[in-house]
Structure 1
Amino acid sequence: MAYDRRITLQQKTTIKDAWGGEKDGYEDLETVWAEFNPTSDAEKFRAGQAEATSMGWFRVRYSAVAALIGPRDQVMDAGKAWKIVGVKQIGRRRSIEFTATHSDATGS
């Protein structure tokens, strides 16, 4: 296993804006070394937009903080937000695998 990239684990939270209103956002929990394995790519056209979607998994060493991350949360990798769609513990507190998707919308 090659833990060769730094990712930030982010937990979904409610934050207050400057006017006291609430909105969903993400809070950085921990930056860790990870292994990444891309599993699929797809492209769709929606309302005149080309949308490329990638799927893959990130594997990190087990930690109490990483164990808090679930399908409501996301991973930041090289400035891109990856939405977590699945979580799997590998071994007994050895590592955690996050299956995630990333979408890029571009005008056509």
Structure 2
Amino acid sequence: MRIAARDRKIILLQAVTEENEAGEVIPASWEIYARPWAAYQPVSDGERLRAAAVEQKADARFQVLWMPRLAAVNGAFRLRFDGGDWRITGVKEIGFREGLEITAWRLGKGAS
């Protein structure tokens, strides 16, 4: 992954949880976990159609450098980019600790 390719700043968010009246643990708010530089790649229409066939949803991929803190990111986190929040649907390692590819889809306005 070239340094020039990581030209977008993203914010990774971790849930701050609380217990509701039913005793369920739910996200109450989101706090900043990390602010890495990332390469942004929208998912093509063809990929989107293939993903729909297996009931997956993805709007984009973000590639970041591997580091222990970012390797802990999973689907319980959120990603903030381009003025909106994104739900992380997958994280995979690129090479051996070279980078991470985060797959995500953009949430609608007012999503929590």
Q: Give yes or no for TM over 0.5.
A: yes
Match of 1:92 among 92, 96, 109: 96
Q: Distance in 1 between matches of 2:18 and 2:83?
A: 21
Structure (1 or 2) with the greater strand fraction: 1
Higher helix share: 2
Matched, 1:30 2:31: no
- Quote the residue 1:14 is aligned against: 17
Q: Unaligned regions of 5+ residues in structure 1, if any?
A: 17-21, 43-52
Q: Identify if the C-alpha distance between structure 1 residues 103 and 10 changes in structure 2 by more than 3 Å, giving closer, same or farther.
A: closer
Residue 81 (structure 1) aligned with residue 85 (structure 2): yes
Write the deviation string for residues 67-106 of structure 1: whole angstroms up to 9, x where unpaired.
Answer: 111011111112210100011000111100100001336x
In structure 1, the partner of 2:71 is 67
Q: Structure 2 CA distance, aligned partners of 1:103 and 1:29? A: 19
Structure 2: tracts of 5 or more residues without a match? 20-24, 49-56
Conserved? CA contact 1:84–1:98, under 8 Å: yes
Equivalent residue letter for 1:65: R
Runs of 4+ more than 6 Å apart: none
Q: What root-mean-square deviation, in Å, do the aligned CA atoms of Structure 1 and Structure 2 show?
A: 2.3
Looking at structure 1, the residues matched to 16 and 95 of structure 2 have their Cα atoms a distance apart, in angstroms, of 29
Question: Are residue 5 (structure 1) and residue 11 (structure 2) matched?
Answer: no
**Structure 2: how far apart are the matches of 1:93 and 1:68?**
13
SS where residue 104 of structure 1 aligns?
A: coil
